[in-house]
Structure formats: structure tokens, C-alpha cells
Structure 1
Amino acid sequence: MIVLLRLLTILRVFLRYRLDQILPTEQLSLRIRLLLLPCKLFPTPSLNRGERLRRAFEDLGPIFIKFGQLLSTRPDLISDDIVRELNHLQDNVKPFDANQFRALVELALGAKVEDVFLEYEQEPLASASVAQVHGAVLKNGQRVVIKIIRPGIERIIAQDVQLLLHLAQLVEKHSRDGKRLRPVEVVEDYRITIFDELDLQREAANASQLRRNFANSPLLYVPEIYWDYTCNNILVMERIHGIPVTDLAALNAQHTNMKKLAERGVEIFFTQVFEHNFFHADMHPGNIFVAEEHPELPQYIAVDMAIVGSLTREDQYYLARNLLAMFRRDYRQVAELHVQSGWVPAHTRVEELEAAVRTVCEPIFEKPLKDISFGHVLISLFRTARRFDMEVQPQLVLLQKTLLNIEGLGRQLYPDLDLWTTAHPFLERWLKKRFHPTTLWSELKRYAPEWMEKFPQVPHLVFNSLEQLQNLGEVAPQLQDIRAQLERNDRKRIHRRRGAVIALLAFGGAIAIAWPDIGDAVVRSVDEVTQTDIPVGSYILAAIGVAALWFRR
């Protein structure tokens, strides 16, 4: 009953915002188009399609809001105008009862709030779609925040995800473009992401790793996690005080060096991706603050590390070289790197891919570098490669979304930000460092114990491989003999079958010659068409029989 009511709610919102007009109708099956016909009875809202979709998600509640946020990370699948609108989705969710929050805290900690905290704030600091945050003070005087997962949210998420999955299956089945867009895969990604966000210990571990990576760094500060009070459904971390990164008035009031602030954001991104290979993948403005100290050398503060990303060493290398080759306009190398990395199939014609990349990039690079969007160049590049059967690379999509956030934020802080001026020397240094003797020596030391452990087995493995090759060489002639025998048997079987058919035809022809009336009865229609008294059917069967006997010889 609950599921049915939820379906009716979704249908009502669908009709209210006429979401049928967003669907690519020409690509849908006839059955789905007929089902959508009654939608035309409802008025069309004056909003554009991106606003309609955003408001529909907001009306459907926190789970659909989160799904909309995930869709905004897929510019490879969703149109730009819809992505821009979905980026505005915020978690302005009504907080749940403060007494219930307190009870959940005490249940998670196994103790009364007064026994753990010196002070505890009844009013929430923030209320999001899956969690709520209150302020507190530990017994040692440390100011902290307490984050608790909303009660019953797991059941609601499971129901909504199941409904989304059914809708995705319908789209994939009844849309010509459904398989390319892979809606089922998108929903599965969402399911994994949203359930990962429900594990606060996982988020705490991500925050702890990020904090360690930037320990004593002037670029980024990450709050400390208090593990004695943290588990899968409660997180207690240091309370930070900073200026929201979008509060330009407050930043200007303290004379923040906006150019430096924007450049440091870019530097943080590339440091996370290439130096640490562990990046905060949800760096929207609500999760980023600026420390009030040292406005001339501003420092970022990051919170909410539920979503993080990393790349393989190969992806790191090919991505860095791709970016350098792109901005040098070496499109041949861009095409070659796509093939070498396995992002496009090995059979791809490099010349065709090179021409396609040139067609996309040349108009972009005719602009001044400060006017070029690094993130949009990557999106254009991936979309072009998709024509050559490039599969969606989830780790790269997450990366490009993070880059778009960082770049957009940087341009908001300092409109003349030239991202390439900051990124280019960083990538050059990283590639040189990657092949520096000290780096190679570090890699050798890292993997040496594993190699030494396996080294005694090498002679045995080599001997076994050679023995298998020798056995294969001995077996090969026997396999060839068996194959030849099978082919001979197949030929004999076909020959016998053909002989039986020919004998049957010959027998039929003989009967037709002996008893012409039988042949006429079998193919009386032929006689009727010719309208003659000659027994045509008899002669046709007789001719077939004679021809069969002739070719049988």
C-alpha cells in the first residue's frame, strides 16, 4: 500500500511538471508514447525543462534531491542546461525532533548526553537529506559537532531506489538511446553512493585520510575526528569556524586575497588528484569554508567527506599527458593516448579520432586561456570519444565534476582566473617527478618485499610454463587429426542427407511418369494457371526426378 501511494505521488508530480516533455519522445517505443498521450491534457508550466526537473525532485523529497545531485555529476549523459539547474539543488530539509536526535545519540554512545558532553545544543546547526548536525562541547572543553543519520531513512531510501530502478529499466527497454545512456547503471551508482553516505564511520575515515594528507598544509584544513565517539551511525568531529566560500561580502570585508584564494583552490585539486590520489569529490560551496586567519594567504576548510574519489596510476598518467597534449594542441597525441589507455577500443582509427578531437578543440582554443573552461574541455573530449565507443569511466566522470566545481568556484572568487597558468607547471613537475630516480627508488622499496616473496617461485613457474608449452606442442597434431576426422564425418553426413533427398525426388519423378494423374493432383494449381489439357504437373515432377538422377551421378 505504501509503495502504491508513493507511485501515485510520483505520477502526480510527473504530470504537474509535464516531465513527459523532457523525455526524448522520438526515441521511445510506440507503447510508451501511447501511455504518455494523456499527459497532453495537463497544462505546460512556464518554467524551462531544467527548472521543472529540479522542482520535481524537490517536491519528491530528500532521496530524489540526492538523485538529482548525482545526475548533475553526469554531464556526459545529461544536457548542459539540465545539469546547471540540478547543480542548484540544496538539502533544505526540515529537521526532525530534537528529543529524538538526543535519544539516537545516547543509543549510539551507550551513555547519557550529560555523561559525555559538557554542553549540548538542542537546536540543530544544519539539517540535510540523510543526516542532522548539532553542536556540543566535550568534557575536555573541545567544541565539536555531532552528526546523526535520520531515523528510518534506510527503509525510505530502499523503497525509492527500487522505484527508480523500475523506471530506469523501462527507459532502457523502451528507448532507442536507453542502452547508451545506461539509466540502470546510473541508478545502481546512486544506490551505492547513497548507502555509503549512511555509513558515518566511512565518512570519518575519509576525513581522517584527507586530514593526514594535508597535515600542516597552508592550503587546506580538515577537522579532526574523535574516534572514541564515532561509529557507523554517529560522527563526532571538531567544530570549525570559517567564512562560507560564497560569502564574497565577508571575504572582501577582511581584505582576502581573492586571486590567491582562487589559485589555491586549483592547487588543492591537482594536489589531491595527482600527489595524493585521493580527492574530495563533493566540493560544492556548501562544504567549503575559508579560515579567518591570514587573509593575505587564505586557507580553505573542507567538511562532509562522504564522497571521495581516486584514480589508477595508469589513469593518472594518461590524464596528465592528455591535458598537456590538449593545451599544446597536439591532437595526434591525444588520440594515441586514448587508445593506449584503453579508454577507446584498440581497433579505433587514430586518424579519425585525431580529426574529431581537432574539430572540437580548435574553436575552444581560439579564445584567451582565461576564458577557457578546463572542465568543459574535458567533457567535450569525452563526448567526442564516446562516438568511438568510449565506455563511461566512472572515476573520470567524478573527477570532471569535481574540476567543474573547483573551476566554477575559482571563477566566482576571481573572474580572471587562468586555471591553465596554475595547472600547467604543476602537471609538468608531476610528470618529471614520476620518472625521477628517487621516485623509482621509492617504488622499488615499496614493492621489493612482494617481489622477493615471489622470486623463489619464479623458476618453478617458468618450468611449468615450458612444460605446458611442450605438452601443447605434442597435443596439437592429435587435435588437428581429430578436427580433420570430424570434418570428414560432417562431409559424409551431408553427402548421405543430400543423397536421400535426391533419391526421394527421383522416386517422386518416377511415380509421376508412371501415374501422371498423381502428379496432376499434387500440383493442380499449376495446370489451372496454364489452362491446358497437358498434364504439366506430371512432367514437372518427372523433370525433377531425371535432373536429380543426372546430378547424383
Structure 2
Amino acid sequence: MPVMLVCASREDDPPGTVALVLRAARVLLLTVGVLAPVGLVGLVVAVLSGRAAARRLAWPRLVALLMRLGPTFVKAGQVLGTRRDLLPPGLCDELATLQDSVIPLTADRTREALAAVYGAELDTLFAEVDYEPVASGSVACVYRARLTSGREVALKLRRPGIERVMRQDLDLMRRGAALMARLPLFRGIPVMPVVVSMCDAVLGQLDFEREAASLDRLRADLSVVPRVWVPKVVPSACRPRCIVMEFIHGLDIDAPSRCSDASRRKFASSGLTAIYEMLFVNGFVHCDMHPGNLYFTESAQVVVLDAGFSVQLSERLRLLFADFFMNMAIGDGDKCAAIVVESSADVGADADVAGFLARMADLVRRSHGLPAREFSLIAFATEMFDLQRRHGIHAAPELIFPLLSLLVIEGTIRELDPDVDFQALARPVLMKGRFGSR
């Protein structure tokens, strides 16, 4: 279902009271219109077939509602879908299906937007621009262009008015979360910290100056990993609403299917090593490595794009993250369980810490004994988050988002190499991150 975007007249205008009230009314009407019938039908289904069946009915409707509400809610749903420590696994699975399916800007609208960004410099910087986008998302469209120097580049142009619309919606989410946090149903759940971290993650994807710096950082950090390519930014041509970077040819999600098994195994190794380098060595993590941002070319390169959703771990959390995986690699469940508690954002007053420690240690020991083909990061993380949720141990968002990078990439890596050993590949990078010079 394509998402239609509302364009504001001025990019940086804060959302006014009237606009906020009108938007709130529209969100409320859509929400009630979609969820009220689902609630009534759900009650009947719950009585006849149980609460699990009612939830299976409700979750897809909720995801459809987010699509109708627009790009901010889609982005928020994508981020919330990572919080398996707080939300039911079935709902997280549905939220993970959310995709940006957005109608691209017209050629005329793109010309207007570029003129607004560059002014008189447009013709002096660019010899030509192809106004047919090569990619279209909720925040930006990407175009092929050529600098006056002759260099071929990609322009990532932020949609006009999108910041105002998204800030308006995020303001509504914060207000709604503040109301929810007061309800008995949500007592003991860190509603506001979760929503605030989600809003920060969404807003971060609007900061193109930050994203350009993140691309430069990732390019430097991942230069040590064989066959990994992060596009080089052209700083002199970048502007606050447009990132200019080298254009990479041959980006095709089906490219691995045309490569040999040996090449596919190399892709899997390089892609996974890149994630480990981010997590365990540098602590600067690209958290959105889905197939639209991760490509494998026929020239044996692993291409990483779009660093808008990146997180910098504190040194303490980076070391705890590395220690957790290191102890997991040797099957020390007791140490892993203690690290999860130590790194948690909140331990509820009624938390069953002893019960969590025992069950978490058992999970690590069971997982350590599995053959590589049978070990699943998603299954492991789902069970771990379920244990945290049931025992009142709330994970820190700073750790959840980086872990997302591993969970998102697992399916892609498994397709490339079904026999890949996630734990074995991690060991040398863990040693480097924990004991090597940085």
C-alpha cells in the first residue's frame, strides 16, 4: 500500500497548535475506525478460540493501520518491532513486515526541491541530474547525477516538508505515551523511555549532516574488512537536506543468485564480520542492515548503504556486549546472565532476578551445544527477550538497537551460507575488540 506524503509549505516551521489538533483528530478517527471493529471481532474470537487467536487477528490490522497513518508511524513501527523484550513476539513479527512503499517525487517537484537546496549553485555543481529516482523511501529519494568535474554521484534528497510532518506525529506519540504511562495496564513498563528512544531513532534519520558523517565513519571503520564497500561522501556537494556520494553500479538484490557457492560463502563471511567489527571493536553500529541497505555485487563486493539509523555504544556497553558474546561462545551461561542484568536499563521492584539468572544461563548452555546449522540468533534473542519481559528485566535501548543489526542480517546470511557458524566467526573479532589495541 503506497504511503502518500503531506508536504508542508515551509520545511523548518514547528507544528502549530491548530495543525497538531487537526492531525490528532485524523489519527484518532483512523485508529478508532480500524481498531474498533477489530476489537469487537476479537472479543468474539477470544471467547470462541482463545486470546492467542484474537491476537493473531489483531496484529496484522494494527500494522495496516500504521501504513495508513503515514511514514512516521511506519518508521516508529519498524523501530518498536525490535523491542522483543517488551512487546509480544507475534506483534514484533508483524511489525518487522513494515516496508517503506512510497510514491516518488515527480520530476517537477524534484527540480523545485533541488533548487531550494542549492539555489544558484545547482548548475555550477552538477552537469546533469537524472530526475527519475533510482530509489524512493519515506524520508528521501535517491537520484543519479554527474558533477561538473565529470564524477558520477548519487544524490539522496530529503523530501520537502517531511521534517515538519514527522515532528508533528512524533509529538503526538510522546503525548499519547505520557497518557499510556499513567494507566494501570502499563504499570512497571518503561513506556516513556522506550517511546523517547524510538522518537530519537526516527528523528535521527532526518539529520542528513549526521548521516553523512556516519557514512564517513563506517567507511573508515570497515576498511579493515575484506570486500566491504561503503560509498564515499562528497562533502563539498552535500547540503543539510541532500547527501552526495559516489554512485555504485550493479546494485541488485538478486546478484548473489548468479554467483558461485564459494562467492556466496565469502559474502556471508564479509557481511557478518562487518557487523561484528561494528559491534565489538568500534561500537559504532549500522542498525538497519535490511536487503535494501545491504547489497552483494557480482564483482564480489559487499555494499553497505544508508547510515541514517546508526548508534554509538558507550565504551562500557561495548565491552559488556563483547563480554556477553565471548562468554556465550564458550558456553558460560552464568556470566552471560549476569551481564544481561548488569547492562539492563531497569530492574523492576518486583523483578524475579534469581529466576531470570537461572533460566538465562540454561538458554546459553543449550544454545552453545547446538550445531552451527541449528543455531538461530532470532530464536535465541526471542527467548532471551521473553525471559526478560516475564522476569521484569528491561533491556537498555542502546543494546537493543545494535542487536537489531544482527537479527536483521541473519536471514540474508543464512541464505548465502546455510552452514555459517555465527559463533566461530565472532571469536577473532571478539578477541580484537576485547583485548586488541583500538
Pick the TM interval, shorter chain. 0.7 to 0.9
1:252 and 2:261 equivalent? no
Matches within 5 A, 1:196-345: 196-215=204-223, 217-245=225-253, 247=254, 250-255=255-260, 257-293=263-299, 298-338=300-340
CA contact (8 A) 1:242 1:290 kept: no
Q: Secondary structure at the match of 2:420?
A: coil
CA contact (8 A) 1:262 1:410 kept: yes
Deviation at 1:45, TM superposition (A): 11
Paired letter, 1:403: L
Deviation at 1:212, TM superposition (A): 1.8
Q: Among 37, 57, 61, which residue is 1:52 paired with?
A: 61
1:338, 1:156 → 2: CA distance?
37
Matches within 5 A, 1:85-484: 85-111=94-120, 113-176=122-185, 178-215=186-223, 217-245=225-253, 247=254, 250-255=255-260, 257-293=263-299, 298-338=300-340, 352-361=355-364, 364-365=367-368, 367-385=370-388, 389-428=392-431, 430-431=433-434, 433-434=435-436, 439=437
CA contact (8 A) 2:154 2:246 kept: yes
Paired letter, 1:281: C
1:243, 1:228 → 2: CA distance?
25
Q: Secondary structure at the match of 1:165?
A: helix
Deviation string 1:388-430 (CA, Å, 9 cap, x unpaired) is: 6534311110111111012122113223322122123432454
CA separation of 1:130 and 1:351: change in aligned 2, threshold 3 A:
closer
For structure 1, which segment, 219-228 or 332-341, has the greater mean C-alpha deviation from structure 2 after superposition?
Answer: 332-341
1:101, 1:192 → 2: CA distance?
27
For structure 1, which segment, 201-210 or 256-265, has the greater mean C-alpha deviation from structure 2 after superposition?
Answer: 256-265
Deviation at 1:223, TM superposition (A): 0.8
Q: Secondary structure at the match of 2:213?
A: helix
Give the greater-gyration-radius structure (CA): 1
Structure 2: runs of 5+ lacking an equivalent: 1-17, 44-52
Task: Give the number of the structure whose residues are more often helix, by fraction.
Answer: 1
Paired letter, 2:375: I
1:397, 1:371 → 2: CA distance?
23
Q: Secondary structure at the match of 1:18?
A: helix
Paired letter, 1:223: P
Partner of 2:88: 79
CA contact (8 A) 2:336 2:361 kept: no
1:381, 1:338 → 2: CA distance?
9
CA separation of 1:16 and 1:254: change in aligned 2, threshold 3 A:
same
Sequence identity (%):
29
For structure 1, which segment, 280-289 or 93-102, has the greater mean C-alpha deviation from structure 2 after superposition?
Answer: 93-102
TM-score by length of 1: 0.66
Paired letter, 1:219: R
1:343, 1:191 → 2: CA distance?
18
CA contact (8 A) 1:281 1:399 kept: yes
Deviation at 1:301, TM superposition (A): 0.6
Aligned positions, number: 409
Q: Secondary structure at the match of 1:119?
A: strand
Partner of 1:11: 28
Deviation at 1:129, TM superposition (A): 0.9
CA contact (8 A) 1:68 1:86 kept: yes
CA contact (8 A) 1:145 1:239 kept: yes
CA contact (8 A) 2:84 2:385 kept: no
Deviation at 1:343, TM superposition (A): 6.4
CA contact (8 A) 1:289 1:301 kept: yes
2:259, 2:363 → 1: CA distance?
42
CA separation of 1:72 and 1:389: change in aligned 2, threshold 3 A:
closer
CA separation of 1:20 and 1:430: change in aligned 2, threshold 3 A:
farther
TM-score by length of 2: 0.82
Deviation at 1:376, TM superposition (A): 3.8
1:430, 1:188 → 2: CA distance?
30
Paired letter, 2:309: I
Partner of 2:49: none
Paired letter, 2:384: L
CA contact (8 A) 1:335 1:350 kept: no
Deviation string 1:242-283 (CA, Å, 9 cap, x unpaired) is: 3334x2xx3222436222211222111111122222121111
Paired letter, 2:113: L
2:193, 2:339 → 1: CA distance?
26
CA contact (8 A) 1:375 1:401 kept: no
Structure 1: runs of 5+ lacking an equivalent: 27-43, 443-553
CA contact (8 A) 2:226 2:270 kept: no
1:361, 1:214 → 2: CA distance?
29
Higher normalized contact order (CA 8 Å, seq sep 6+, divided by chain length): 2
Deviation string 1:170-199 (CA, Å, 9 cap, x unpaired) is: 3222242x2433333333223322322222
2:197, 2:37 → 1: CA distance?
24
Deviation string 1:53-101 (CA, Å, 9 cap, x unpaired) is: 2211111111111111111221212222222222222211112332232
Deviation at 1:361, TM superposition (A): 4.1
Partner of 2:13: none
1:375, 1:192 → 2: CA distance?
25
Q: Secondary structure at the match of 2:303?
A: strand
Paired letter, 1:213: D
